[in-house]
Amino acid sequence: MTSRPKAGDNERKFEKIFKAKSAGVDLLGKRRFVLREVEISVDQSFEHDGKDYLIEIDSGNMAKLLVGQYVLLNQLRILKKPAFFLVIHTYKNYNPMRTVYNLDLVNRELLGGSGIPFGVVHIDNLANWSGGVASLLNLLKLPTPLL
């Protein structure tokens, strides 16, 4: 019987794919955001064209936890520059649109449409990624098309 990959294994898999195809954009590692006793983090991050990309690797089919993380990121992140929340799902046969619908509802209804823009992709789809940030963004499932 084979066991399901652990979160750390999936994070390393993403890092390997990203480093191979990112066209010189370096991963900056985990990021933490703190306000008094409340803290939230993301698994990985990078900067490109003046924007912070905050990456969460979801290994366990956890759309509802991602909603809480998104709410906290929007509250705790002090906006020094524009950001983009990127969710990478690794759960087998997961439909990323489930997460898109949840985050879009929170953004529209709770945050009045002013939340951090976001996109979602399954890690298996990164195999089709030709490289570069623009190409990566074209793979994403989004609530609305990128302009």
- At 147, the pLDDT band (50, 70, 90 cuts) reads very low
Evaluate whether residue 121 is within a structural domain.
yes
Structure tokens of 14?
């993403």
Evaluate whether residue 144 is within a structural domain.
no
Whole-number pLDDT of residue 8: 84
Domain that holds residue 23: 7-139
Evaluate whether residue 145 is within a structural domain.
no
40 close to 76: Cβ distance less than 8 angstroms: yes
Whole-number pLDDT of residue 79: 65
Evaluate whether residue 2 is within a structural domain.
no
Evaluate whether residue 104 is within a structural domain.
yes
- Give the separation between CA 77 and CA 15, rounded to whole angstroms: 23
Three-state secondary structure call for residue 59: coil
Whole-number pLDDT of residue 7: 63
Q: Looking at per-residue confidence, does 1 or 15 come out higher? A: 15
Provide mean pLDDT across the span 14-35: 90
- Give the separation between CA 147 and CA 124, rounded to whole angstroms: 25
Evaluate whether residue 147 is within a structural domain.
no
Q: Give the count of domains, the chain.
A: 1
Burial per residue of 53-67, b for 16 or more beta-carbon CB atoms within 10 angstroms, e otherwise: bbbbbbbeebbeebb
- Give the separation between CA 15 and CA 18, rounded to whole angstroms: 5
Evaluate whether residue 110 is within a structural domain.
yes
Percent residues over pLDDT 70 in the chain: 92
| CATH code, 66 | 3.40.91.50
pLDDT tens column, 49-107: 999 999 999 987 677 889 999 999 998 877 678 999 999 999 888 888 889 999 999 99
